[in-house]
Amino acid sequence: MDAHREDHRTPPLLWREALGRVLRLRRTDLALTLAAVSRRSGVSTQYLSEVERGLKDPSSEVIEAIAVVLGLELPQVLVLAASDLGQGSLQLSALGSPGRATAAPAAPLRGRAQLSLAA
């Protein structure tokens, strides 16, 4: 292999980046603001933003607090994030209709989470 040849492959997502993508996509699908999720979960807006951007490795307790507000269970979030690693694109549209959440957390999903991955 030529030592001068550059490798242009995109590095794989980190776990925290995949997790952040899942949380952000679900939050925006539900038309919730960072402030609303922060208030309902007890996680500061700044920290929540950093989690969504893949800059922080939150504890399982923090992930669960956010997940509850988003109408997800912790195992669903973990499976979705794991599925997104190395896949390129994640769509959570099958998880529920946008805008469902109002003052109360979204209803938790029952059964298996469905997702659509596209390269």
pTM over 0.75: no
Per-residue pLDDT of the chain (119 residues; tens, 9 = 90+): 555 555 577 777 799 999 999 999 999 999 999 999 999 999 999 999 999 999 999 999 999 999 999 999 999 999 999 888 756 555 554 454 433 433 344 444 444 444 443 33
Task: Give the pLDDT score at 50.
Answer: 98
Q: In sequence order, which residues have a C-beta less than 8 Å from that of residue 5 and are 6 or more positions away?
A: none
Domains by residue range for the chain, with CATH: 15-95+113-117 (1.10.260.40)
Q: Whose CA is closest to 116, among 77, 76, 84?
A: 84
Task: Give the pLDDT score at 85.
Answer: 78
Task: Give the pLDDT score at 35.
Answer: 98
Task: Give the pLDDT score at 45.
Answer: 98
